[in-house]
A and B are shown apart, each in its own frame.
Chain A
Amino acid sequence: MNLLILLIAPLVTALAILPVKGLKQVRAIALAGSLLQLGLTFATLMSFLSERSSGKTNEFLLEQNFAWYRDLNINFHLGVDGISIAMMLLTAFVVVAGVLVSWKMEKMSKEFFFLLIFLSMGAYGFFMALDLFTLFFFLEVAVIPKFLLIGIWGSGKKEYSAMKLALMLMAGSALVLVGLTGLYFYSDFHGTRTFDIVEISSRNIPLGVQQILFPFTFIGFGIFTALFPFHTWVPDGHSSAPTAASMFLAGISMKLGGYGCLRVATWLMPQAAQEYSTIIIVLASIGILYGAFATMMQTDLKYINAYSSVSHTSFVILGIAMLTKTAINGAVLQMISHGLMTALFFAVIGMIYERTHTREVAKLGGLLKVMPFISTVFVIAGLCSLGLPGFSGFVAEMTVFMGSWERIGLLYRIATIAGAASIVVTAVYILRATGKSIMGPVANQEFNGFSDAAWNEKLAAIVLVAGILIMGLAPFLLKDLINPGTEEIMQKIVSSIK
């Protein structure tokens, strides 16, 4: 299977949207395109697995390599390992659901779906890139459309939020760019410089250089994944964005950062990762607890989910910085889990908002009586968020905890306990939100006339719930997929310590 198809398919879908007229055609093409993506990602998984089982032991398989700009040794280099395939599957799930919940997007529908599909191409490219320049290129592809999505289709103080998001993510990109360029210049051992990730990973970047470049790269990617204290774009950005964009933003974009922190910062600069890990762990555990406590005080459903995302994605950073195999596995699992769960949450919040025109918890109530399907999905998303066994969140968080406890030292133990303590706070805010908006007496007589989920909304929810359940009930599938990738990274870390 040629990985280029995964870039061409979204591109063609996006372009095919341009000439047609009317919402109906546009959304049909978008849905077909997104389902195609889902099929293609599964096909990629299958051909990856069959190549693996046929005995190929390379870290990355299905590689494609084209010279892009020969003078600077920039190549368009793609390839996948288990981790990137897992991230691509996540992307495909979220895109399908995102298209489905935007089914009635009347306003500038063509542009909306174009941008949505275009974004997904950026995400696939990013997760497949094996060349730092290519990686950065797709990172930018995945940022800019978001500015438009929020600025045009958003709600509330959307201009402010769009600007804030774009500026902070651009600042992140700028930091990343410094890091990547630096890596390029210090990859020079035999007279050739390279942007190639695999190549760089096999060369050892001098420690002094790592110490300088690591913070740039890690913080740069960290901004994407809501590293405390650079997380403040998250609440505003998410709550102003239209539903599908929120899903995309929290479900996929934040994961670009986590993936970058792991694949680029940690893998390519393992010694610096070791040296800086303590401070990152401190920031991450602050992010987890502080995010959770801040969530507790929110009154708007979208703000609740946005702040809880800060708390949940900090688990990703915590897992990566703990630098044990189990913890890194946990971080990857948490990326997938949070992506699905938060997308589901935003989708269902969008459904509630479309009907009630409010996201204020205090104004909602008794929705379970009025719209049982939507409410049940809300409860499922909530239970996943608070780490109930059977759902994906439990698997991911417990793996992070088990892995974190492997790292010996009082500080790390405290960080783990702080992380574990957050699950109690999570229960508090999830149950508060559920108790007030879903349960209780029907708050407003107008609610009684509202319809439950339409077929497209049901399907969107089912797709995401299926992902959550598969991961939650059979975690070994995903864990076995990502484990070799994690082992490769661990090997690099362990050998760098000696």
Chain B
Amino acid sequence: MNYSSYIALIPLLPLAGFVLLGLFGRKYFKSAAGIIGTLLLLGSALLSLYTAYQYFLVNGKTGDTYQTITAFKYTWLSFSDKVSIDMGVLLDPISVMMLVVVTFVSLMVHIFSLGYMKGEERFATYYAFLGLFTFSMLGLVLSSNLFQIYMFWELVGVSSFLLIGYYFDRPSAVAASKKAFIVTRFADLGFLIGILVLAFYGETLDFQTLLHTLTTQQSAQHVAVVTASFAGVTALTWGVTLLFMGGAGKSAMFPLHIWLPDAMEGPTPVSALIHAATMVVAGVYLVARMFPLFAMSQSALDVVTVVGASSAVIAAIIACTQTDIKRVLAYSTMSQIGFMMFSLGLIKAHGTYSVGYTASMFHLFTHAFFKSLLFLGAGSVIHMVHSNEMKDMGGLRKYMPITHITFLIACLAIAGIWPFAGFFSKEEILLTAYQSNKIVYGIALLTSGLTAFYMFRLYFSIFWNKEAHLHGDSHGEGTWSMKLPLLILAVCSIAAGLIPFGSYVSINGKELESHMDLSFSIAPLAMGIGGILLAMWMYRKENNKPQQVATTLNGFYKAAYGKFYIDDLYLFVTKKVVFNLIGRPAAWVDRNIVDGLMNGIANATATVSNWIKGVQSGKVQNYTLYFFGGVVALAVVFIYLWK
């Protein structure tokens, strides 16, 4: 089967939805918009599943290795003979895996939104933006060219901006959308410069050619990129680290994570899609895509590890203190992505490939299901109680049984309890950490415990704790369109872990033997169960234990609650430094110094002409006087000076 015959349809169907609903939705498809968008996405999802089936099970392999296939390629903008931006589709295990994740989660979100967003005034616009996002994200994962991925990278950024700012009349939503865009834009500056560096040395933008030439030891490009250096760091390390900066921004890694919690201002299904399952893992995907280059630079890998591990633990600590359920989930996302990142970073440079690559991708895969389930569940809860705050919730298990059970499944999955999906993927990550770096292993183990704790703090606070006090106008658990995605995703959150992931996705395309060691699982499981029990003890019934703990840990608790003041630091830098020390002076200098100079020249000219205009008085007597004066002067000159 030839992929090129239909593969372009996968991203183009959602794009068609965007164009159709964006242009005509508000007028003609006010209520049908949801169905149109969902059907188009269904087509896209089915094609993706078919592609995955074809690739993984039928004809993706040559011998024992999965091949990288360029399904099509079109030169979009050429800079020189070799360097050009091509629009292409690249199929390899990770892109096909992402194809399934993106279309599947997007489909669930489309269905869920049918109920959740019903009656919204800009319903069609909402589905148009969802289509735009899905298109961009699919373009991103299928990219065959470094610049192509950057373009779609920017497009997912803007879709995220549009969707966060969907409730545009709320100042907080506007601020959040701005923040998300600007912070990731700043990170993308690194991405862009990284592209410039790598393209300069690699003399191409095409992924396969780039990775091949730069990793071939004998090639002139390889020699150039590892010998050229700036400030004592090789061009290669600069290039990939700058790329990683873009990835860290998009994936909300410390210290570029500040936009993610605020991004929760968007509609909750959007958070499930963009800020949990797909866009935020783009950074991990980028590192995985460019991994052969990362693997040549131990310092770049170390950066990835440090950033990933610190994000994992910092976010987990903050998550324990937040009271807005979506923010808890946002920090949890950041923490889990940290796991995926350091799992990649821990693979040793120039060494044999460890299990880390597969583990990272596996966790990305399972996380997409249980985290989108958590967000959709949270959406269902918010739909019921009309609040994001934990204090407004409690005792909801009786009122929303399906949400309750599915949420519990997702919590068990993220806490890494056997046999839920998160157990298997996290286990592999911990194994990677154990084998390569004991400090990271310690951090990861601690974070696992924290994860279980804050997730079950959330679970007990929503569904147990105090008795429910619902308002009279509450409308039950929501429509079937909201319940169905929850059920499907819950099944996935259990089943996804059972997939022998290593036989499909590995760094070299060959099957990876997974060694699941039972004795190794004891520590993580103990941490997970410990966390759950602690949360149960503190939050199952309404009591003052949480208060006491907070008081005991006074300073630390406040710091964590205040998100370790990282936001405030940013605010200081932007408001005080960028605006007051750069922007304001620039504007002032322009008006007063530079323009003052121009006006000064004009004024000087005017003044001089004022002085000399008296000469042309129009009086004949004066002219006669000047004339004779001139004649006398010339006479003097001729007589005395000529000789």
User: Residues of A with Cβ closer than 8 Å to B?
Assistant: 164, 167-168, 229-233, 235, 290, 293-294, 296-298, 307, 325-326, 366, 368-369, 372, 383, 386-390, 394-395, 398-399, 401-403, 405-406, 416-417, 420-421, 423-424, 427-428, 431-432, 435, 438-442, 475-476, 479
Contact = CB atoms under 8 A, between A and B. Distances in A.
Contacts of A325: 80
26 contacts: A164-B598, A164-B602, A229-B594, A232-B594, A232-B598, A233-B598, A293-B582, A294-B586, A296-B583, A297-B579, A307-B590, A326-B80, A368-B168, A389-B151, A389-B155, A394-B151, A395-B77, A398-B85, A402-B83, A402-B199, A403-B79, A416-B196, A417-B193, A420-B192, A435-B174, A439-B168
Contacts of B192: 401, 420, 423
Nearest to B74: A476
B169 A439 contact: yes
Choose among A167, A293, A296, A420 the residue with the greatest number of B CB atoms under 10 Å from its CB.
Answer: A293
B155 A399 contact: no
A431 B175 CA distance: 9
Given A398-B147, A405-B200, A427 B182 contact: yes
Given A366-B169, A416-B196, A439-B169, A432 B178 contact: yes
Nearest to A369: B169
Contacts of A326: 79-80
Given A421-B189, A475-B76, A479-B77, A294 B587 contact: yes
Nearest to A297: B587
Contacts of A293: 582-583, 586-587
Contact of B158 (A369, A383, A416): A383
B152 A440 contact: no
Given A366-B169, A402-B79, A423 B189 contact: yes
Given A229-B597, A296-B587, A441-B169, 20 more contacts: A293-B583, A293-B587, A296-B578, A307-B590, A366-B169, A368-B168, A369-B169, A389-B150, A389-B151, A395-B77, A398-B85, A405-B197, A421-B189, A423-B192, A424-B186, A431-B178, A431-B181, A439-B168, A476-B75, A476-B76
Interface residues of B, number: 50
B154 interface: yes
Contact of A399 (B79, B158, B193, B579): B79
Contacts of A164: 598-599, 602
Nearest to A402: B79
A217 B627 CA distance: 40
A493 to B, nearest CB: 16
B165 A439 contact: yes
State the 3 A-B residue pairs at the shortest beta-carbon distance, nearest first.
A389-B151, A297-B587, A232-B595
Nearest to A421: B189
Contacts of A399: 77, 79
A366 B75 CA distance: 41
Nearest to B153: A389
A439 B178 CA distance: 11
B169 A423 contact: no
A417 B189 CA distance: 9
B600 to A, nearest CB: 11
A423 B77 contact: no
B438 interface: no
Contacts of A420: 189, 192-193, 196
B171 interface: yes
B345 to A, nearest CB: 26
Contact of B584 (A231, A297, A398): A297
B455 to A, nearest CB: 34
Contacts of B165: 435, 439
A406 to B, nearest CB: 7
Given A395-B77, A475-B76, A427 B598 contact: no
A440 B155 contact: no
B189 A424 contact: yes
Contacts of B186: 424
Contacts of B348: none
B185 interface: yes
Given A297-B583, A388-B155, A428-B182, A290 B79 contact: no
Contacts of A476: 75-78
Given A232-B594, A232-B598, A390 B79 contact: no
Interface string B135-169: 00000000000010011101100100000010011
B79 A232 contact: no
A431 B200 contact: no
Contacts of B76: 475-476
Contacts of A431: 177-178, 181-182
Nearest to B196: A405
